[in-house]
Structure 1
Amino acid sequence: MIVYNVARQWFTMKADAEGHRKSLGLPPSGTYTLRIDDRDDLAGLLNGLCGLEAPVAPLMVELPTEVIERNQITNTPPDCVPAFLVREWERRNKRQAEDE
């Protein structure tokens, strides 16, 4: 199985991934190809996503640093999120912190 990643979005078709990459103005390295050849690769990927030690052979794919960095989940909303949503999100997080 092969899937493509561009800016935290996954695609099943390379042409779709490349079109999205180009629309974002990213260089060719902005498209990452993930290949899963067998069940061991899939188990390694899923264990890595869950932060677990892989009980089977590790996934034999080295992710480039730029792919890892752009796919990090942070508590800082990106600039494209409207300010009213950011304020609501901050209020909700503040209430949760006070309740704990």
Structure 2
Amino acid sequence: MQNQILQHIAQVIKLDPSEETEFLSVLSERKLLKKEFLLEPGQEVLSEFYVVSGCLEAYYQDESGNRHIIQFAVEDWWISDFEAFFSGRKAELFVVAIENSLLLEI
């Protein structure tokens, strides 16, 4: 699991061993069961999530109750309500596991 995210990061930047250790120290493991919500509207969004295994979707619901899927996240990808995370606003998206999933939270 740690090697997987380090390989992902290495596609963009090279970390020396001490940087790798520091980076790994801020990650925490999160497991979700199929249909379990990671985020729901109104929640504070303090993290981003790297998908080690599984699949998740991010969507919003309109006034009529229709779902509008914005993103799927599969293995080796990231998911969150990024707009809320970067703006400091509350979540507007639902993020739910489509199948049992293992995530790394940062």
> Which structure has the higher relative contact order (CA within 8 Å, separation 6+)?
2
Fold shared, TM-score > 0.5 on shorter chain: no
The structure number with the bigger radius of gyration is 1
Which TM-score applies when normalising by structure 2?
A: 0.23
Which TM-score applies when normalising by structure 1?
A: 0.24
Looking at secondary structure, tell me which structure has more strand per residue: 2
